[in-house]
Amino acid sequence: MNISENTIQILKNYGTINPNFIARRGNTITTISEAKNILSSCSIEEEFEQDIGIYDLNEFLNVLSLVDQPKLDMEEKWCTVKDSTGRSKVKYFFTDPDMLTTPTDKMITNAAANIEFAISFTLDNDTLGKIKRAAGALGHSSMKIEFIANAITLTVFDTENPTSNTFTIEVPGHGHDYDLITDHADSEGTWVLNINNLKIVPGDYEVKVSNKNISNFIHKEKPIQYWIALEK
């Protein structure tokens, strides 16, 4: 099987979330961070004929980069990575999936179902870049998501210092249900996300936020989405 550039881009992203990786039979790949606060699922162009376990995904990607247009010939316990001419090849051994930290089908099913979201907003790639640059410039790692008077703002701030410098940007979005936003008699809601957990593929996203301390980032062009835990 050949590995496309799109799939390599996704795998590089998954390598930043967790070096452990299992490709299950079929064309859906998943990953979960060791802290279990980042979960992702993606449909890819390729179809795996068997389950394979990779202990160090970044190492595996480095192996793929050794050849042009990598082609994988699968065996039960290893694969042979060949270049387009067949002259260069690498024998790469798989890892027993039972030794790896990966999401179960139940985790994906539970994340995708029965979650009531309070608000939704659009996070485009330009805004995402500004947030990460602001976090670096100010030395902060937290982003506050606020829904006040039907407006949604994202604020980079320091949770430990209320007088710290902040960066705020308004994003288009809306509340889903008045009763889901708050238990109080006003139309306000506040959530906090660790910016270090924004390990997502670049692009534009539809973001949903739940009062159950979970957020869902859905890419608008690629068949990939993330569930990222919010801070308590």
Q: Say what the pTM is.
A: 0.90
DSSP conformation class of 220? S
Ramachandran class of 65: left when φ > 0, alpha when ψ lies in -120 to 50, beta otherwise: alpha
Assess whether 198 and 146 both reside in one domain.
yes
Domain CATH code at residue 107? 3.70.10.10
Beta-carbon-side half-sphere exposure of residue 115 (alpha carbons within 13 Å): 22
Residue span of the structural domain in which 186 resides = 117-229
Strand 117-123 and strand 89-93: the pairing is: unpaired
- For residues 208 and 215, give the distance between their C-alpha atoms in angstroms, rounded to a whole number: 6
- Show pLDDT as tens, one digit a residue, over the chain (232 residues): 888 999 999 999 999 999 999 999 999 999 999 999 999 999 999 999 999 999 999 999 999 999 888 889 999 999 999 988 878 889 999 999 889 988 877 777 777 666 789 999 999 999 999 999 999 999 999 999 999 988 999 999 999 998 999 999 999 999 876 444 444 434 579 999 999 999 999 999 999 999 989 999 999 999 999 999 999 8
Provide CB contacts within 8 A for 85, sequence distance 6+: none
Domain end (from 86, 112, 138) = 112
Domain end (from 92, 112, 132) = 112
Cβ distance 151 to 140 under 8 Å? no
Cβ distance 65 to 5 under 8 Å? no
Assess whether 28 and 75 both reside in one domain.
yes
pLDDT at 183: 46
Assess whether 84 and 122 both reside in one domain.
no
Assess whether 189 and 154 both reside in one domain.
yes
What pairs with residue 82 in β-bridges? Answer: 71, 89
Assess whether 11 and 67 both reside in one domain.
yes
Task: Measure CA of the first residue to CA of the last residue in the chain; give whole Å.
Answer: 44
Domain end (from 78, 112, 146) = 112
Cβ distance 230 to 144 under 8 Å? no
Assess whether 16 and 79 both reside in one domain.
yes
Assess whether 105 and 139 both reside in one domain.
no
Assess whether 221 and 125 both reside in one domain.
yes
Cβ distance 197 to 141 under 8 Å? no
114 φ, ψ (degrees, to nearest 5): 60, 30
CA 229 to chain centre: 11
- For residues 155 and 185, give the distance between their C-alpha atoms in angstroms, rounded to a whole number: 24
pLDDT at 185: 37
Assess whether 21 and 101 both reside in one domain.
yes
Assess whether 14 and 97 both reside in one domain.
yes
Domain CATH code at residue 220? 3.10.150.10
DSSP conformation class of 230? P
Cβ distance 207 to 215 under 8 Å? yes
Assess whether 170 and 211 both reside in one domain.
yes
DSSP conformation class of 231? B
- For residues 9 and 161, give the distance between their C-alpha atoms in angstroms, rounded to a whole number: 37
Assess whether 130 and 86 both reside in one domain.
no
Please tell me the total count of domains within the chain: 2
131 φ, ψ (degrees, to nearest 5): -65, -45
